[in-house]
């Protein structure tokens, strides 16, 4: 069986994430789509460029309920794609969760474990039916 070399298992997922951060004299807010998530961090896509090193307050909308924690942008990259409307840009953002958010990170670890187990069971059931 394949073992990941990361500290946490990563789950490819597609869930909503709301974020906010201080900017000059205001709090900026935005939304992003989480592409993958683990107990240590996540990768998300945003319409806004988020600078590396920026601290974010996050609310990740998991099926099991919202998880609120802090994180730091460790990598951010502008990308573009072509749609019917023309060229559109977005930002791929890698976020590392703050270690002080232990209880919230445990909720994410549990969510990843449950989802991976359900997906593995579904694949096993599908494979048995095809045989």
Domain coordinates in residue numbering, the chain: 11-130
**What are the pLDDT digits (tens) for 12-46?**
888 999 999 999 899 999 999 999 999 999 999 99
Please write the tens of the pLDDT for every residue from 85-124: 888 889 999 999 998 888 999 999 999 988 888 877 777 6
**CA-closest candidate to residue 74, choices 102, 58, 55, 99:** 55
Q: How far, in Å, CA of 58 to CA of 55, rounded?
A: 10
Spatial separation of the C-alpha atoms in residues 7 and 14, rounded to whole Å: 21
Cα–Cα separations (whole angstroms), residue 107 to 60, 63, 64, 68? 11, 11, 9, 10
Spelled out in words, what is the top-level CATH class assigned to the domain 11-130? Answer: mainly beta
């Amino acid at each position: 069986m394949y073992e990941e070399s990361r500290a946490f298992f990563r789950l490819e997922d597609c869930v909503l994430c709301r974020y906010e951060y201080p900017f000059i004299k205001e709090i900026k807010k935005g939304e992003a789509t989480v592409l993958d998530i683990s107990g240590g961090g996540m990768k998300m896509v945003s319409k806004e460029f988020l600078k590396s090193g920026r601290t974010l307050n996050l609310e990740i909308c998991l099926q099991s309920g919202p998880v609120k924690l802090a994180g730091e942008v460790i990598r951010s990259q502008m990308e573009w794609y072509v749609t019917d409307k023309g060229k559109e840009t977005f930002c791929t953002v890698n976020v590392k969760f703050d270690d002080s958010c232990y209880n919230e990170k445990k909720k994410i670890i549990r969510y990843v474990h449950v989802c991976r187990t359900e997906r593995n069971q579904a694949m096993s059931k599908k494979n048995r039916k095809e045989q």
